[in-house]
Structure 1
Amino acid sequence: MALMTVYHGGYQAVERPEIRVGKYTKDFGKGFYCTVIKEQAQRWARRYTSKIVSVYDVRLIPGLRILEFKEMSDDWLDFIADCRSGKPHDYDIVIGAMADDQIYSYVADYIEGSITREQFWILARFKYPAHQTVFCADDALKCLSYRGFEEVR
């Protein structure tokens, strides 16, 4: 039995996920980004002409370095600020809230020093970030078992 099901939204089915370094830094650094929220993956897929959500079962492998943020916190903010600034980390899997476009603009302001940490939390308090699970290492990708894909209408 799977520990959880995750979804990846994109323009094609991804039967064999890979760690790819994009041209933009992301919340939790380089990795294969998924979510436990199917509707969120569908939103990701809607950015493309071909709208595909790949579905995976996740079975965690013992010994992996996993960092999970149960809630938005100062540690979560600092981690995202570091990753968005290009600082690498040593985790195999990172799980937590996603800084959506609105939250990310606050993160960017915080990184630039335009707002303080306290101001960030005041602005972010009423926003509801989405979820992300990021597989950051090849060993972590072995946790994923491809189940298939769905086209988003």
Structure 2
Amino acid sequence: MALMTVYHGGYQAVEKPEIRVSRNTKDFGTGFYCTVIKEQAQRWARRYNTKIVSIYDVRFLEGLKILEFKEMTEEWLDFIVACRSGKTHDYDIVIGAMADDQIYTYVSDYIDGTITREQFWVLAKFKYPTHQIVFCTDVALKCLTYRGFEEVH
């Protein structure tokens, strides 16, 4: 697969990405989250006092178990619900649209039974495109080559 560039938004440059287990559940589970959309990484970084976007080249290694959601589908929703509920998976890399804060409110409402699956899909129209690629294993992190960082102003 061709080389691509991804971005990670945070409060410091991350030369050596690692997988850190946090108490918060995320869309695609535990992993190192990046995006191909630089503006999205900048939005992630703006949550912090020091706003840094780390930049990486990615080349997928042979034999990795990769799950890619090319669009928001029933399977995408079910996968996010499972991961946000604390279930684990055995993928090295997961790629797809992100359930941002507004979308996740709808996911929570669906999980709680406040809205139906059909109502979720009516509400789940993104205002802007989103993308996330999650490196879920130490082997997957070897696909990343650090290029540097930019400070977000």
Normalising TM by the smaller chain, what interval?
over 0.9
The reply on whether 1:139 has 2:143 as its aligned counterpart is no
Aligned to 1:47: 47
Q: TM-score, length-normalised on structure 2? A: 0.96
- Give the unaligned 5+ runs of structure 1: none
Q: Partners in 2 of 1:78 and 1:94 — Cα distance?
A: 14
Aligned to 2:123: 123
SS in 2 for 1:139: helix
- Give the unaligned 5+ runs of structure 2: none
Q: Given that residues 100 and 129 in structure 1 are in contact (C-alpha distance below 8 angstroms), is that contact kept between their aligned partners in structure 2?
A: no
Matches within 5 A, 1:107-122: 107-122=107-122
Q: Partners in 2 of 1:98 and 1:126 — Cα distance?
A: 10
Q: Which runs of 4+ in 1 moved over 2 A?
A: 125-129
Aligned to 1:92: 92
Q: Given that residues 103 and 129 in structure 1 are in contact (C-alpha distance below 8 angstroms), is that contact kept between their aligned partners in structure 2?
A: no
Q: Partners in 2 of 1:57 and 1:76 — Cα distance?
A: 26
Matches within 5 A, 1:1-153: 3-125=3-125, 127-153=127-153
Q: TM-score, length-normalised on structure 1? A: 0.96
Q: Structure 1: which amino acid aligns with 2:31?
A: G
Q: What is the deviation of 1:129?
A: 4.9
Q: What is the deviation of 1:59?
A: 0.4
Instruction: Please tell me the root mean square deviation across aligned C-alpha atoms, in Å.
Output: 1.3
Q: Structure 1: which amino acid aligns with 2:119?
A: Q
SS in 2 for 1:83: helix
Q: What is the deviation of 1:111?
A: 1.1
